[in-house]
Structure 1
Amino acid sequence: MRKSLFFLPLFFLVSFVFAQSIPDGYRSAKSNLQSGNYWEAMNAFREFTDEASYGDLALYAAFHAGEAAIKANQAQAAIDLLKPLAERSWLHQNESKILLAQAYFLNNNSLEALPVVASIQEQKFESKASNLAYDYLVKESPDFLIRNLKEYQNLPVYTAALSAVLRKKNVLSSDEKSLFYELQGQNQNWSSTGSNNGVFDLVVILPFSNSSQSIATEGFIYELYQGIQLAINQLKKEGMSVSLNTFDSKRSMDAVRAILEEEQVQNADAIIGPIYPEETDLVSSFAEAAKIPFIHPLSNLGDRYVGNSYSYLFRPSSENIAEGIAKGLKSSLAGDRIAIAFGGSSRDTKVAELLKDKLENDGFELVNYQEISPRNAATFLTNLGIRPTLDSVEVLVDQVVVLSDDPNMADPILSLVESVTTSVPIFVMDSWLTFNFANYEMLPYDNFYFISNNTPNFESEKMVQLKDQFYRSYSFFPSTNSILGTELVYWLYSNLNPDLDTDFRTSLDQQVFQAGKLTWGFNFQNSNSNRYVPVFHFVEGELKPINNP
């Protein structure tokens, strides 16, 4: 939005009206204003502001003197020149108000500018005034905007600016979050009563492409969608009333906004996706206003959804994972000396910070706490005394936690552990189970423990059936993302199907633990994410949780 508000048509109008009597000095002032000589223009126009001497020409001179003063960063001078024009009834009163509002904003006095903006009623000038006000208001602090919201809550540009300012904050208080979602609903005019058609209407919004590329038919997004589509097809085969509407977000906020205007979205029973932060913020805002459950299918970062009523993570949050690891460390009974290694992702860093605080509060001794990379991952262990030449009694730590899904981090760690005689428990994310270079049965000791992140139950009867169904549909076996896509649909349907007498939130709260079809289960009681984070261990070749639901 531009804050440059030249009103050049006034030059032509005044030239037409006063063509026979415009002084040369006035013409020279106009020329200076047009060529950017603002100080000269301002002082030259002042000579013609005496209405007794110059009549209506004085009004135009004052107007353009105020305009030049703004361009010369002389805000108070502009206010003095423009305020009388804005308060009197004349042909260009609205233009005068817009310039006066700009002068107040330039003078860091938004509370004087806003009443001027609000006083502009003529539609063709409202948008100019709103654009000007928005550009200045989004630079104000959240505290300022919230403090004065009551007075200006009926001014659309004010609430839009407050919403934009809150969106930029990394961390929102609970009050700010509530206000943010309320404002998003007001600004977008979002509402929904649901279709109430006896059909489970599911909407999927995923970035299948970007604005310049065709739809990709490979990668984790497409794998996730294949699992979703398979579950929908299976539910239909079983006689369930379900529908699926799919939209491509294209990594474009404009595309997402357009999608949210679609009738199928506004009447959906649930929305899966999108996945990228700025897109999920917008869809979450829509979900809160329209009262439609929105589920992020893959993320563990759920801070922004805490306290919301309709926005969920399908997977555990960082807080859930940290809590599950802490319980697992206690269950293993291996000792209180702990070392934590973590990768550079937002999830890994967040979980590490939370786990560190939790363990220190619980009386554990933190021997080492370090961000690692593939280059120093093995060194992290050797510095703890986990070396081929040492026995377990010389190791400096009782338990190790490695927080990373990076196979390049896992490879050197597994290679080292294969060559040592230590039985120190090593806790890793469940993604390590899927690395094709990992053979845990060949290790000297069965000392790896796996932290659940909606872990698939690979040996279950339902999983065997899924693999068969998936292979018949796609001619290859499902990836973890496909399994999660299928499980997500089953979980949603079990808590949202049209035959249930309760809403989604109530259904989740009534179940402390809900067994999964393809995963080990869920606990969403009083939570916007999966609180069930068991730690698994191989027992006679089978993966078993060491802590109960």
Structure 2
Amino acid sequence: MISAQNRLLLLSGNRWFLFLTLALLTAACSPKVLPVANQPVKSAPKPVENQPAKPIVVKPVAPKVSTISLLLPFGLDHLAPGANYTSVSLKEADIALGYYRGFKLALDSLTAAGYNYKLQVYDSRDQNAQVHSLAFNPAIKNSDLIVGPVFPDDIKAFTAAYTNGKQPIVSPLSPASPATFKNPELITIIPPLEYHAWSAARYISNKLHPDKIFILRSGFSEENEYIGPFKRAIDSLGKRHIKVVELTVIHGQLGPIINQLNPGGKNVFIVPATDQRFLTTTLRALDSLNKSYPVTVFGHPSWVNFTFLKAELLQRLDTHITSSDHVDYKAENTIAFVRQYRNVYHTEPTNYAIKGFDEGLYLGKLLANDSINGLSKADFTGLHNDFEFQKKPGIGWINTHVNIYKYANFELKKVE
């Protein structure tokens, strides 16, 4: 556990750096043999026949040390006398601790394989003033990779003050659009919402081939962040042969579109809402409609975490959900990770620990191999998602990979 703010944590692989330092000091203190002018040149001794060649001794070279700075919201100032964690700051600290543990476990695994790292950990506190101050920290500026801050406002504050334009900065957990930050060196790990919309559109166009798609709105403007990219994707992929019908649904009333439904085939509905009351009413109305008109629903990625949505209902509606962080705890590699995490930390890994492990493994190896600027050529299959990066001018690298799941046997099954 981290006990002091801004303490630097070193990994065991740095022993090679110590050996190299001692060797250099020894070499610097050894006498130098210099030529003396005007001395007669001695003739070379005659070679001795059949003399065995002396073996060439090659001194071991210390491996490269990659320095990584983690900027995470531990909120250690809440441990000061008279201060207390609030429910919000305690949740942020849980996120920070889980991510740090997973990331550190990944680097330990790479160190065991021969790589070498120096891990520096800083408390961002989820405070703009603290993040702004960290942007001027010389140790952070001299690191090879910066991971964090975590939250969008903190990322904006840090990137606005950070002046080293060639150093990669990782947004590790936020799906916020990188266009918000406008930093060409930013690496966005969690795919923004627009890539969920594109993935859903591609699946619908390639697999379902509908003539019409119905978008059910709740009326909240934030739904446009999904609807806009989805419509552009359908127009592009479907070559404008797929008609999109939008309806703002009030109290579950679907009557205005009944005469446009197909009783003999699937009717595809996009429901980008996240409001509980709206979803409860609208999905119940779709369930009634499903008795006469077969329904296929595509929901918002946040639905994965909504406990009020029942698997039986979602399965009847042939519900598909896009996700970039759904973990299959039955997979062998996930089971192995959980076992290792328990052995090291004596607790269960959170989703943030799993993300930290995936990102630490991926970024650590690329950094050690000097490939951090070639993300588009380095795809990766992780425990929570795959990494497939694209470089976008002015806004950096973006992971575009999104999985699609559907409900079967009352649980989510990956279909793409």
| TM-score, L = length of structure 2 | 0.66
The structure with the larger Rg is 1
Q: Is the 8 A contact 2:169 2:187 kept in 1?
A: yes
Higher strand share: 2
Q: Does 1:379 align with 2:248?
A: no
Identity rate, percent: 19
Q: Is the 8 A contact 1:336 1:398 kept in 2?
A: no
How is 1:466-477 mapped onto 2 (pairs within 5 angstroms)?
Answer: 466-471=337-342, 477=348
Name the count of aligned residue pairs.
Answer: 335
CA spacing shift, 1:328–1:442, aligned 2, 3 Å? same
The Cα of 1:301 is off from its aligned counterpart by 1.4
Q: What per-residue deviation string (whole Å, max 9, x for no partner) do you get for residues 29-69 of structure 1?
A: xxxxxxxxxxxxxxxxxxxxxxxxxxxxxxxxxxxxxxxxx
Counterpart of 2:299, as a letter, is V
Counterpart of 2:26 in structure 1 is none
How is 1:69-108 mapped onto 2 (pairs within 5 angstroms)?
Answer: none
Gaps of 5+ in 1: 1-195
Aligned to 1:452, which of 312, 323, 326? 323
Counterpart of 1:366 in structure 2 is 244
CA spacing shift, 1:409–1:334, aligned 2, 3 Å? farther
Counterpart of 2:383 in structure 1 is 518
Q: Does 1:487 align with 2:358?
A: yes
The Cα of 1:209 is off from its aligned counterpart by 3.7
Q: What per-residue deviation string (whole Å, max 9, x for no partner) do you get for residues 309-362 of structure 1?
A: 311211113432232121022133151322224678886432222222333454
For residue 69 of structure 2, give the secondary structure of its aligned residue in structure 1.
Answer: strand
How is 1:100-139 mapped onto 2 (pairs within 5 angstroms)?
Answer: none
Q: Is the 8 A contact 2:101 2:353 kept in 1?
A: no
CA distance in 1, matches of 2:255, 2:348: 38
The Cα of 1:518 is off from its aligned counterpart by 0.4
CA spacing shift, 1:478–1:206, aligned 2, 3 Å? same
CA distance in 2, matches of 1:369, 1:245: 51
For residue 335 of structure 1, give the secondary structure of its aligned residue in structure 2.
Answer: coil
Counterpart of 1:174 in structure 2 is none
Q: Does 1:304 align with 2:177?
A: no
Counterpart of 2:351, as a letter, is T
Gaps of 5+ in 2: 1-61
Backbone CA RMSD of aligned residues: 3.9
CA distance in 2, matches of 1:539, 1:247: 43
Aligned to 1:505, which of 373, 379, 404? 373
Q: Does 1:333 align with 2:208?
A: yes
Counterpart of 1:64 in structure 2 is none
Counterpart of 1:461 in structure 2 is 332
Which one has more relative contact order, counting CA pairs under 8 Å at least 6 apart? 2
CA spacing shift, 1:280–1:289, aligned 2, 3 Å? same
Q: What per-residue deviation string (whole Å, max 9, x for no partner) do you get for residues 423-464 of structure 1?
A: 411112344334344453565636111112344344322222
Q: Does 1:350 align with 2:236?
A: no
CA spacing shift, 1:266–1:197, aligned 2, 3 Å? farther
For residue 289 of structure 1, give the secondary structure of its aligned residue in structure 2.
Answer: coil
CA spacing shift, 1:369–1:328, aligned 2, 3 Å? farther
Counterpart of 1:258 in structure 2 is 133
CA distance in 2, matches of 1:382, 1:416: 10
CA distance in 2, matches of 1:316, 1:242: 27
Counterpart of 2:398, as a letter, is S
CA distance in 1, matches of 2:382, 2:309: 26
Q: Is the 8 A contact 2:74 2:96 kept in 1?
A: no
How is 1:35-434 mapped onto 2 (pairs within 5 angstroms)?
Answer: 198-209=64-75, 214=84, 218-219=90-91, 222-223=94-95, 225-236=97-108, 239=112, 240-285=115-160, 289-296=164-171, 297-304=173-180, 308-333=183-208, 335-341=210-216, 348-360=223-235, 362-363=239-240, 364-370=242-248, 379=252, 384-385=257-258, 393=263, 398-404=267-273, 410-412=279-281, 420-421=290-291, 422-434=293-305
CA distance in 2, matches of 1:414, 1:529: 33
Higher helix share: 1
CA distance in 2, matches of 1:311, 1:401: 31
CA distance in 1, matches of 2:284, 2:224: 24
Q: Is the 8 A contact 2:102 2:357 kept in 1?
A: yes
Counterpart of 2:405, as a letter, is F
Q: What per-residue deviation string (whole Å, max 9, x for no partner) do you get for residues 276-318 of structure 1?
A: 4443123224566242211222223122356x43112111134
Counterpart of 1:204, as a letter, is L
Counterpart of 1:533, as a letter, is V
CA spacing shift, 1:449–1:380, aligned 2, 3 Å? farther
Counterpart of 1:532 in structure 2 is 401
Q: Is the 8 A contact 1:305 1:312 kept in 2?
A: no
Q: Is the 8 A contact 1:417 1:443 kept in 2?
A: no
Q: What per-residue deviation string (whole Å, max 9, x for no partner) do you get for residues 455-492 of structure 1?
A: 43443222222333445566654443343233222222
Counterpart of 1:366, as a letter, is V
Counterpart of 1:401, as a letter, is I
CA distance in 2, matches of 1:485, 1:222: 13
Counterpart of 1:97 in structure 2 is none
Q: Is the 8 A contact 1:294 1:310 kept in 2?
A: yes
Counterpart of 1:256, as a letter, is V
